[in-house]
Copies of this chain bind each other. A is one copy, B any other.
Amino acid sequence: MNILIKQIMLGEKPKDILIENGVFSKISDNTDIVCDKTIDGHGKAVFPAFYNGHTHAAMTLLRGYGEDLKLFDWLNKVWKQEAKLTEEDIYNGTRLAILEMIKSGTVFFADMYWHHSAVIRAVKEMKIRANVGITFMDSLSKKALRENIDFVKNFKSESNPLIQLGICPHAIYTCGSSMYTDCFELAEQYGLKLHTHLAETKSEFDSSLRNNGCSPVAYLDSLGVLSENTIAAHCVHLTDNDAEILAEKGVTIIHNPCSNMKLASGIFNYGLTKKKGCTIALGTDGVSSNNNLSMIEEMKFASLLAKVSTLDSLSLPVEEAIKWGTVNVAKAFGLNAGEIKEGMLADCIILDLSNERLIPNHNLKSNMVFSADSSCIDTVICNGEILMENGHVDNEEEITEIASRYEIP
């Protein structure tokens, strides 16, 4: 299918945007090609779609469960329920998550969860992009570990360009050194990203000092597992040296401001990571600690938290916040996407410029970061396919109906 979006605002000017074979093939003042689908861009603007760098999608099923508890009470409660999620639950929860992501303009998510076959089933059906994380922990049985590795080995046969696998050693408090090095080798062998939680809480940091004699980042560096293919979620508790290591090794930090704030994990050090030249992108984390999957909210939280924590209103300006929520995530996961340019993957959202949150239109980028919500998004396109049109996603009634039946066992 090819798509022509006619006379839509791209930046300051109306353009015709031609989408062929899943890429933006031509962006011009006027094109007269007859396409399978033509979208009238009048009164609308095209904007990059969002990419969610770190989440646990199926946790949507636990939205609002175990609210307002101390971290350890919360973890105990949530983990107990997570263990009860069946493969079918995870399929239904992931579908709900993807629906919520599409509705808020997100076309990619990096997942770290269980029952990856169920996740992949949901991703394929809903035609979004995903890095489906295969989670590793020392507590896995030998059988489960073997199945994980076999799944990775056999995955090549699947030829869906929207899906990639990720190798996810969970965290330094659930994985020992050999689990990390084994995961690193597995990722290298199959050309996959290594995606892990890192330096999320003060207690993780302090434990690492006690147990490893160094910070969590320095510890992983000593194991040789940090590289341009490493995605490190959180990185709230960093020394100066840690930030230098992450920058030098080319690790992408996935900052999850809502989750870090809600769990009182700490304030991400914008000033330090910026000064050291770290690569940063955004994620929502799972719904249990957010409690939604909106990258629009995540950009606003990241920017406002950076400004107030540095006492500098110039911190994390609009352009940078958008990069963190779009192209920086895409790059981290090896996608030639996140901007609307000829030759790039045809992922975009179409905004309704008559929505009150986008009026007046003095600065659309600022309006998107600081004012917009999901009601501003009219259409979502991923890989040249329309996932949402006029605010409606195929099958959404069925997806929400099934998910709404989920009860805590």
| Contact code string A44-56 (vs B, CB < 8 Å = 1, else 0) | 0000000000000
A282-341 contacts to B, CB under 8 A, are 287, 290-292, 294, 297, 300-301, 303-305, 307-308, 310-315, 317-318
Tell me, rounded to whole Å, the shortest Cβ–Cβ distance linking A78 to chain B: 12
In the assembly, how many copies of this chain are there? Answer: 2
Query: Does A212 sit within 8 A of B, measured CB to CB?
Result: no
Query: Does A260 sit within 8 A of B, measured CB to CB?
Result: yes
Residues of B within 8 A of A294 (CB): 373
Given A103-B375, A371-B287, A375-B374, verify A264-B311 contact (CB < 8 Å).
Answer: yes
Residues of B within 8 A of A401 (CB): 354
Q: A363 touching B65 by the CB < 8 A rule?
A: yes
Residues of B within 8 A of A361 (CB): 64, 404
Closest to A93 in B: B360
Query: Does A233 sit within 8 A of B, measured CB to CB?
Result: no
A67-117 contacts to B, CB under 8 A, are 67-71, 74, 96, 99-100, 103
Q: A63 touching B362 by the CB < 8 A rule?
A: yes
Q: B403 touching A260 by the CB < 8 A rule?
A: no
Given A359-B400, A366-B291, verify A64-B261 contact (CB < 8 Å).
Answer: no
Closest to A292 in B: B371
Residues of B within 8 A of A304 (CB): 258, 261-262, 301
Residues of B within 8 A of A400 (CB): 354-356, 359
Contact of A68 among B70, B96, B291, B318 (CB under 8 A): B318
The 3 closest A-B pairs by CB, nearest first: A64-B363, A261-B304, A64-B366
Could you name 21 residue pairs across A and B whose Cβ atoms are closer than 8 Å? A60-B359, A63-B367, A64-B362, A65-B362, A68-B313, A69-B314, A96-B356, A96-B359, A258-B300, A263-B307, A264-B311, A267-B308, A290-B370, A290-B371, A291-B366, A292-B371, A297-B300, A356-B399, A359-B400, A361-B404, A373-B375
